[in-house]
């Protein structure tokens, strides 16, 4: 029998918390020979394990496992009544004991026996006569693995919960239903919108607000990248927008102010592409400025016209120049804005849809199914060829100015 | 995405193949490290074999541009076509990255 110094020690490279959990572990020693029980118990005691339980046969072992739920079992194979093999098989048949390490000790060196030991569900094997340092090393290793897996699953569960919470908070940045209903009523439009993050959190955002003198301001924003960092930046942008209320009727000025705030807080390589427009819903005039967002479409009958949304994304340069453009959105026309994944995601066959492809879809769908459910129809078609998980966040917003025909239907 | 650096006396061309997207973050950072070790006066990103650049990819170009400014070399792009060219034009980054 090899001797051991018996000093509890921290295994190299292991977490301190894990080491202390390992030493607090409850270990059940199962052997029909009292001498063996004592010897193994003494060895584990010297190795720093105090919380030990003993059983003299398989039947007693199973009862004690049920009652005390140990962290590890050191199990003899040849015992009267219920054998070690039986104990292994019984435990492994119960999912409750999936992660319970079973360390089998046996005198036989026969390879066939080892195969049977592992087949019956043992985690590992130590040979008799017991080599104490080896037994200790194996007990430590299996306990450490168990606690590491435990702590990882705890951590994962916590992060998942936090992400759910964060996703709900992020959703709350999007316009509420009540405010959309108010906008629709006031501006005599139908607002159709869709938002989906590629991961739990996303970097897309859109919004709209009523402004003085019969005006409606609205924007779509796409922060580069996605996931947590992009999501935090959407919170930043959203919070900053409120500070620039005075400039909300002037799109270029609004983007300029927002850029100033964002340039200071965005990390290198992060930016937001954006489109901001102000529609006068009495006269139909549309004033807008772009910061590199995909070109919005104005849909008139079955015609599609693209708006010039080019511009340096917000957060890149200290003093980029944003320009106001003027256009019109007549009664019976629609404006459609979207984030780039709609034209960049690989379709069935591998090619991307592209802007031209999307315009073709819009024309076909407007012709066959009308204008006011365009977003819904487009996305239905898009998701026909897309897997659930998109490579980036997706936002699509359409504002349809109602003509008398739709008003009659509404 | 893959890249090959051809450096002739401080004038380098980086030839990209494949898409430059969010998932190429690590590869792109390695490229920036590789460029850091070269004694550059000018570097051209050749995008003629690139079909797709997403917004994260554009972000990586901006990081490269910053590195160029800091270390005193010039960065340009060439060969952009199709969707890549439209992205550079839409975001006006083609103006920022000298040809």
Residues B25-65 have pLDDT tens digits of 889 999 999 999 988 999 999 999 999 898 889 989 999 99
Answer whether residue A237 shows pLDDT above 60: yes
pLDDT tens digit sequence for A16-25: 666 777 888 9
Q: What pLDDT was estimated at residue A4?
A: 47
List residues in chain A touching B: CB distance below 8 A. 222, 224-226, 268-271, 273, 292-295, 309-313, 316-317, 320, 340, 343-344, 352, 354-355, 391-392
Q: Which chain B residue's Cα is nearest to A230?
A: B56
Answer whether residue A91 shows pLDDT above 60: yes
Answer whether residue A207 shows pLDDT above 90: yes
Q: What pLDDT was estimated at residue A406?
A: 66
Q: What are phi and psi of A180, to 5 degrees?
A: -65, -40
Cis status of the peptide bond prior to A325, with omega within 30 of 0:
no
CA distance B88 to chain A (A): 9
Answer whether residue A405 shows pLDDT above 80: no
Q: What pLDDT was estimated at residue A12?
A: 53
Q: How far apart are CA A247 and CA A260, in angstroms?
A: 13
CA nearest A126: which of A137, A135, A113? A135
Average pLDDT, chain B: 91
- Per-residue pLDDT band at A403 (split at 50, 70, 90): confident
- Per-residue pLDDT band at B79 (split at 50, 70, 90): very high
CA A9 to chain centre: 38
Q: How far apart are CA A353 and CA A343, in angstroms?
A: 5
Q: How far apart are CA B42 and CA B64, in angstroms?
A: 12
Across the interface, whether the CB atoms of A225 and B91 are under 8 A apart is answered no
Mean pLDDT of A67-79: 95
Q: What pLDDT was estimated at residue A410?
A: 40
Across the interface, whether the CB atoms of B90 and A222 are under 8 A apart is answered no
Q: What pLDDT was estimated at residue A227?
A: 80
Per-position DSSP letters for A83-149, written without gaps between them: -HHHHHHHHHTSGGGTT--EEEEES---HHHHHHHHHTT-SEEEESSP-HHHHHHHHHHHHHHHHHH
Angle, CA B85 vertex, CA B81 and CA B89 arms, to 5° = 160
Q: What pLDDT was estimated at residue A20?
A: 76
Q: Is residue A286 within 8 Å of A275, Cβ to Cβ? A: no
Asked if B86 has any chain A CB less than 8 Å from its own CB, the reply is yes
Q: Which chain A residue's Cα is nearest to B95?
A: A312
Q: What pLDDT was estimated at residue A265?
A: 87
DSSP state of B98: B
Q: How far apart are CA A193 and CA A144, in angstroms?
A: 50
Q: What are phi and psi of B29, to 5 degrees?
A: -65, -35
Q: How far apart are CA A278 and CA A251, in angstroms?
A: 7
Asked if B13 has any chain A CB less than 8 Å from its own CB, the reply is no
Task: Return the SS3 of A102.
Answer: strand
Most B CBs within 10 A among A221, A224, A271, A338, hence the mutation to make, goes to: A224
Q: What pLDDT was estimated at residue A17?
A: 66
Task: Return the SS3 of B11.
Answer: strand
Answer whether residue A294 shows pLDDT above 90: yes
**Number of neighbouring beta carbons within 10 Å of residue A175:** 18
Q: How far apart are CA A91 and CA A104, in angstroms?
A: 13
Q: Give, in order, the Cα–Cα distances in Å from B56 to each of A81, A407, B45.
A: 66, 42, 16
Across the interface, whether the CB atoms of A391 and B86 are under 8 A apart is answered no
What does the CA dihedral A245, A247, A251, A257 come to, rounded to 10 degrees?
-90
Mean pLDDT of A85-91: 96
In DSSP terms, which residues pair with A280 in a beta bridge? A215
Tokens of A124: 């590992």
Q: Which chain A residue's Cα is nearest to B25?
A: A225
Model pTM score = 0.78
Contacts of B56 in chain A (CB under 8 A): 224-225
Share of chain A above pLDDT 70, in %: 94
Q: Higher pLDDT residue, A88 or B24?
A: A88
- Per-residue pLDDT band at A3 (split at 50, 70, 90): very low
Asked if B2 has any chain A CB less than 8 Å from its own CB, the reply is no
Is residue A187 classed exposed, middle or buried when 0-12, 13-18 and 19+ CB atoms within 10 A define those classes? buried
């Amino acid at each position: 029998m090899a001797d051991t110094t018996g000093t509890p020690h921290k295994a190299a490279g292991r977490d301190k918390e894990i080491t202390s959990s390992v030493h607090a572990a409850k270990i059940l020693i199962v052997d029909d020979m009292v001498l063996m029980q004592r010897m193994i118990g003494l060895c584990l005691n010297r190795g720093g394990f105090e919380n030990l339980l003993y059983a003299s046969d398989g039947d007693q072992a199973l009862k004690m496992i049920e009652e005390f739920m140990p962290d590890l079992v050191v199990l003899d194979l040849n015992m009267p009544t219920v054998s070690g093999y039986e104990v292994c098989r019984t435990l492994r048949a119960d999912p409750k004991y999936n992660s319970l390490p079973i360390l089998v000790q046996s005198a036989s060196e026969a390879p066939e026996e080892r195969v049977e030991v592992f087949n019956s569900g043992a985690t590992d094997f130590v040979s008799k006569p017991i080599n104490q340092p080896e037994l200790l090393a194996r007990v430590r290793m299996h306990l450490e693995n168990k606690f590491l897996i435990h702590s990882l699953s705890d951590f994962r569960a916590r992060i998942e919960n936090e992400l759910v919470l964060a996703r709900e908070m992020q959703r709350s940045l999007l316009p509420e239903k009540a405010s959309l209903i108010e906008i629709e009523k006031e501006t005599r439009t139908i607002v159709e919108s869709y938002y989906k993050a590629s991961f739990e959190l996303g970097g897309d955002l859109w919004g709209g607000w009523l402004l003085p003198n019969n005006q409606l301001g609205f924007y779509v924003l796409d922060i580069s990248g996605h996931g947590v960092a992009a999501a935090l930046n959407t919170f930043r942008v959203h919070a900053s927008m409120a500070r620039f209320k005075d400039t909300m009727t002037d799109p270029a000025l609004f983007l300029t102010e927002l850029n100033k705030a964002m340039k200071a807080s965005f990390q290198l390589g992060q930016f937001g592409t954006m489109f901001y427009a102000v529609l006068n819903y009495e006269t139909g005039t549309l004033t807008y400025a772009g910061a590199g967002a995909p070109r919005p479409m104005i849909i008139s009958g079955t015609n599609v016209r693209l708006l010039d949304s080019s511009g340096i994304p917000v957060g890149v340069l200290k003093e980029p120049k944003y320009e106001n453009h003027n256009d019109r959105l007549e009664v019976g026309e629609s404006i459609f804005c979207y984030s780039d994944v709609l034209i960049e995601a690989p379709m069935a066959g591998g090619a991307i849809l592209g802007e031209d492809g999307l315009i073709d879809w819009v024309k076909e769908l407007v012709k066959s199914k009308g204008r006011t459910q365009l977003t819904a129809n487009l996305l239905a078609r898009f998701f026909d060829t897309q897997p659930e998980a998109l490579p980036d966040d997706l936002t699509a917003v359409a504002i349809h100015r109602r003509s008398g025909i739709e008003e009659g239907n509404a | 995405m893959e890249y090959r650096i051809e450096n002739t006396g401080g004038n380098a061309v980086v030839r990209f193949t494949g898409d430059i997207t969010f998932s190429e973050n690590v590869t792109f950072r390695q490229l920036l490290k590789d460029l850091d070790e070269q004694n550059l006066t000018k570097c051209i990103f050749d995008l003629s074999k690139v079909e797709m650049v997403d917004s994260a990819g554009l972000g990586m170009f901006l990081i490269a541009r910053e590195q160029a400014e800091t270390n005193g070399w010039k960065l340009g792009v060439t060969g952009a076509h199709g969707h890549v060219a439209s992205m550079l034009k839409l975001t006006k980054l083609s103006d920022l990255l000298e040809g």
